[in-house]
């Protein structure tokens, strides 16, 4: 099997304990292709939606338009760790009582555009080195706060005795949920750590779209690689579509800038472009009175 034979997206349910790279490495073996990338790292303790791009679809990894990510997270108050989750070393504990209403009130203050300092155990680079590499060397350095966006945060449940609960978060990329929980705990004055994390949405894909590694292996064995692929254009459904006629499709694929009378498109808008056969070609934009490619995936 070669890269040219398969191309598309796989919505993988990443299991807890695996790194995102572990998933990619496993799929390279199952699909017998090396041209695979993923759309957003998940921590090893986390599970859930991991968009994986295969073949020519890997061109999409860096231009995904849907920056929203959904999470269902468990937390425990009264504990602070070096990793901001329960896998880390406990730095301090606090037995102060926190009511459900107090937690809910504090958490809701983190909705909207807020500043967040990335954790030391993260892939953020400082002076060319990843923070988690420095953290493993026992180093803690100053990090600049970055603006992030929390679109919604709902407290699903909270036990005032154990001070444990769960929350559902919809945010934009770049948000660290364990840092969010840590910061809520700091605001309350007792600390907090993440106990579990499931990503429920990413790059236009949801849990119901996902296949486990075992599912993927079985389907490929029985029906071939194509049976596990999702259409790449599903990741770009936030854009309107434009469909080209046969002659115009040929011109477009050859890189010709189309005139305004050849395509039904508005100035400045990005479109999903489909050829005469209904196949997804890529993204295009009308600019300065002409329509041309932004990114072609299957040409």
Count the Cβ atoms, other than its own, within 10 Å of residue 137: 8
Would you give the end-to-end CA distance of the chain in angstroms?
A: 19
The secondary structure of residue 263, as a DSSP letter, is: S
Rounded CA-CA distance 196/61 in Å is 26
Count the Cβ atoms, other than its own, within 10 Å of residue 96: 11
Alpha helices in 176-275 (DSSP H): 177-188, 213-223, 246-253
Could you tell me which of 4, 2, 1, 8 has the C-alpha nearest to residue 227?
Answer: 8
Query: Is 43 part of the annotated catalytic residue set?
Result: yes
H or E element: which one contains 24?
Answer: helix 20-31
Pairing of strands 146-159, 112-116: antiparallel
Q: Which two tokens stand for residue 178?
A: 């364990």
H or E element: which one contains 131?
Answer: helix 131-136
Cα–Cα distances (Å) from 251 to 9, 245, 247, in that order, read 27, 10, 7
Q: Report the C-alpha dihedral over residues 130, 134, 137, 139, rounded to 10 degrees.
A: -170
Percent helix, strand and coil across the chain, each to the nearest 5: 25, 35, 35
- Please identify which of the residues 3, 22, 43, 156 carries the catalytic annotation: 43
Residues forming the active site: 43
């Amino acid at each position: 099997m070669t890269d040219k034979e398969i191309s598309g997206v796989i919505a993988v349910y990443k299991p807890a304990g695996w790194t995102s790279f572990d998933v990619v490495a496993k799929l390279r073996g199952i699909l017998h292709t090396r041209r695979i990338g993923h759309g957003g790292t998940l921590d090893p303790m986390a599970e859930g939606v991991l968009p994986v791009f295969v073949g020519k679809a890997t061109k999409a990894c860096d231009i995904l338009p849907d920056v929203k990510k959904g999470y269902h997270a468990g937390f425990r108050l009264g504990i602070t760790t070096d990793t901001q989750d329960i896998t880390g070393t406990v730095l301090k504990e606090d037995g102060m009582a926190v009511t459900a209403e107090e937690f809910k009130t504090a958490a809701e203050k983190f909705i909207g555009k807020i500043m967040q300092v990335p954790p030391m155990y993260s892939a953020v680079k400082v002076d060319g080195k990843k923070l988690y590499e420095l953290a493993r060397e026992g180093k803690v350095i100053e990090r600049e706060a970055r603006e992030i966006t929390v679109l919604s945060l709902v407290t699903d449940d909270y036990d005032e005795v154990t001070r444990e609960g769960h929350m559902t978060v919809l945010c934009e990329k770049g948000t660290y949920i364990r840092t969010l929980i840590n910061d809520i705990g700091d605001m309350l004055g007792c600390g907090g750590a993440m106990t579990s994390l499931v990503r429920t949405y990413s790059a236009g894909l949801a849990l119901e779209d996902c296949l486990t590694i075992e599912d993927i292996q079985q389907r490929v064995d029985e029906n071939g690689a194509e049976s596990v692929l999702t259409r790449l254009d599903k990741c770009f459904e936030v854009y309107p579509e434009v469909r080209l006629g046969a002659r115009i499709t040929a011109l477009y694929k050859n890189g010709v800038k189309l005139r305004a009378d050849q395509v039904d498109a508005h100035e400045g808008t990005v479109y999903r472009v489909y050829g005469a056969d209904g196949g997804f070609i890529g993204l295009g934009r009308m600019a300065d009175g002409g329509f041309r490619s932004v990114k072609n995936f299957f040409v």
